[in-house]
A = this chain, B = another copy of it.
Amino acid sequence: MAETGAKAGAEAGAEGSAKTGAKTGVKTGAVTPRERYRAQVRTEVKEYAWKQIAEAGASALSLNAIAKQMGVSGPALYRYFAGRDELITELIRDAYRSLADAVHAAAGTGADPAGLAHVLRDWALADPHRYFLIYGTPVPGYHAPEEITGISQEIMADLLTAWTALEPDAPATPFGAHLADHRDWAGDHPAPPGVLHRALTFWTRLHGVLSLELAGHFTGMAFDPAQLFEAELADLTARRG
């Protein structure tokens, strides 16, 4: 009884879904104090989780340790999360969501690819561990649920739109043609082959520079990583077709 109760609680509390059971994500207004409290505690747990990840890495994440920091007994957290795995999944989802929101907000104000690139870099520098949780060494045995690949596609969509606006006639390339034949990842975005190629390359190149910078591989090298980032960006946005 206590067991099933805890489980049901942990699952239902995901987004503070109110009585109505609406999965729309709309705030129904009919949020009970208990639900507010649950959401608050869940948030607090995640905050401590991020601190812990920052200090000892994602694999050292421990519910017991978080409980200790919160001044609460270990088993108490099982009311809020079904277990360690659920917590990690949610952290990853939150990280993706945060990045997608940041990118989308910038895209909404008409940012061009260079603008989005800076949003990405700022987001990554603000919390390198969050970046690595998404784009770093895969957590062994972990597989992203579908929801997350969906968020990933949202980000891609914004990149594609920004590139379409900047360079709608990006020259077609052999690899662009290949991408056009395998465009599942682009959803139903109407970007032409040349733009598909640009957007994908945009992503991989920025990731290359960013991940090496964040991992500290440039620290012994004395040069300024920001300037390398700008140089790559300049190369990407320079029309040369």
User: Is B231 in contact with A173, judged by CB distance below 8 angstroms?
Assistant: yes
Q: Does A137 contact B (CB under 8 A)?
A: yes
With contacts A139-B57, A179-B223, A185-B222 known, is A200 near B215, CB below 8 A? no
Name the residue in A132, A209, A215, A221 with the highest tally of chain B Cβ atoms < 10 Å from its Cβ.
A221
- A134-160 interface mask toward B, CB cutoff 8 Å, 1 = contact, 0 = none? 011111110000000100100000000
User: Is A204 in contact with B215, judged by CB distance below 8 angstroms?
Assistant: no
Q: Does A60 contact B (CB under 8 A)?
A: yes
CB distance from A163 to the nearest CB of B (A): 16
Q: Which residues of A contact B (CB under 8 A)?
A: 55-60, 132, 135-141, 149, 152, 173-175, 178-179, 182-185, 197, 200-201, 203-209, 211-212, 215-217, 220-224, 227-228, 230-232, 235, 240
